[in-house]
Amino acid sequence: MSDAKAGKRIKPAAVGPPRRRMSRTERARDSRSRRQRNRQRRLVRGLGIGAVALVLIAAVFVGSKLWHARGPVVDFTGDGGPQVLIEVREGDYTTAVGETLRNAGVIADVATFLSAAQGNSAIAAIQPGFYRLRTEIPAASAVRQLTDPANRVGKLVIPEGRQLDDTTDMKTERVTAGLFTLIAEASCLELNGERHCLTVQELRRAAEHETPEALSVPGWALGPVTRLGHDHRRIEGLITAGTWNVDPTATASTVLAKLISQSSAELDRSGLPAIAEQLGMTPYEMLVVASLVQREALPHDFAKVARVIDNRLAVPQRLEFDSTVNYPLDRQEVATTDADRAKVTPWNTYASEGLPATPICSPGRDALNAAEHPEPGDWLYFVTIDKDGTTLFTHNYQQHLNNIEMALDNGVLDSSR
């Protein structure tokens, strides 16, 4: 039987020489020694951490001194780099303009730009639009370039009474630029030596082939516009007279859509839909009336002509306006020919009853106001009798014929036509 089974305890074998027992005094001394060594190690570790911290603090201090000595990049120097196009949006304050310039790489710091622009009335009155500037220029240079009219691009001015197409006066041979030409000219951009413009043909194709929805035609005009198919004149009058901004980098369809959208928003703000409903008309019909008023009279007679239109439509009686005969013609004259008046077109109010199919021009605010508020009266006829623009109105047809004789005698009308 083994010793384990006999219940005897097995002692582990000793390794190495036997260890001498330490006295109480020796154990105390050894404990103190260990504590001292631990304190020294902690002290060394603490000194190391402190040294690292001091190095970091010194680095921050030196860096701070350098930063304050040299400062961040707050302004560029020199003549700048390549040109860029930036947009100042409606409602942008000077700070927002500065942020746009900084984001485009034109200036280095907004605060420096604000300082350079301080007291500059031209900057304070900066208009929404597109501006061409060089990148990486001093803030003072950015102020000068931004306020230089030569650096504003895409500005479009549409005079009252213009139509989409160019027209030529048969007597003077003078060509009046239409909206397509004006838009094409406004779209021209020369940037870093390269010049790009939209063309009249591109704009006309977009007017013909884009869907009314893609052109942002307002809901109240969708029906009449759709009925005219792919005739580019379906958008006539939907771009109103005024000053607009054209993005020189945009496509023809995008440019037209934005102009139509902005124009319809202006018409909505003017109250056109609500006023038209009160008068028993659609907003589109009101726009057509305003275009006729614009082309048929001088401003002081706008409200009277608007009443003549209302009175004739109520009779009913054909409007018989020469302006509607002239509208689709490339070459126009105040007094139209019998042959022209006999042609049936979607616009000729001699050949057809009611209003023309579209507006015949872009009416101004005064013409729209006259269409919305016709002057009270029973007039059915009017004719301009002299070259000063004097126009006589009457309800009596015989009196109207007499007035026409005065116009013939004064050379306003041609008796041979």
In this predicted model, what pLDDT tens digit does every residue of 292-346 receive, in sequence order? 999 999 999 999 999 999 999 999 999 999 999 999 987 777 668 888 899 999 9
394 in a structural domain: no
Q: Is residue 61 included in any domain, yes or no? A: no
For 105, phi and psi rounded to 5 degrees? 80, 15
- pLDDT value for 76: 97
Angle between helix 302-314 and 365-372 (nearest 10): 40
Residue 187's SS3 state is coil
pLDDT in tens, 230-251: 999 999 999 999 999 999 999 9
Question: Is residue 161 a contact partner of residue 364, using CB atoms and an 8 Å limit?
Answer: yes
Same domain for 182 and 255, yes or no, is yes
Which of 243, 189, 188, 203 is CA-nearest to residue 362?
243
Q: How many domains does the chain have?
A: 2
Pair 137, 236 in one domain:
no
* Residue 164 resides in a domain: no
Is there a single domain that holds both residue 116 and residue 222? no
Q: Above 90 in pLDDT, residue 98? A: yes
**pLDDT value at position 201?**
98
* Whole-number pLDDT of residue 412: 83
CA distance 94 to 405: 62
Give residue 342's Cα distance to chain centre: 43
pLDDT > 70: what percent of the chain? 81
pLDDT at 56: 46
The pLDDT value given to residue 191: 96
- Mean residue pLDDT of the chain comes to 87
Looking at the fold, whether 107 and 181 belong to one and the same domain comes out as no
Q: Is pTM beyond 0.85 here? A: no
Could you identify the residue written with the tokens 């369809």?
A: 253
**Whether residues 290 and 343 fall in one domain:** yes
Structural domain containing residue 188: 176-379
**pLDDT band of 45, cuts 50, 70, 90:** low
Residues 87 and 188 reside in one and the same domain: no
Whether residue 43 has pLDDT greater than 80: no
Reported as a pLDDT band with limits 50, 70 and 90, residue 4 is very low
Question: What pLDDT is recorded for position 387?
Answer: 86
Q: 106 and 227 share a domain? A: no
Q: State yes or no: pLDDT of 14 exceeds 80.
A: no
In this predicted structure, the answer to whether residue 12 has a pLDDT above a threshold of 50 is no
pLDDT score recorded for residue 72: 64
In percent, the amount of the chain with pLDDT more than 90 equals 75
Range ranked top by mean pLDDT from 27-31, 67-71, 388-392 = 388-392
CB-based contact 355:270 (threshold 8 Å): no
* Residues 346, 278 share a domain: yes
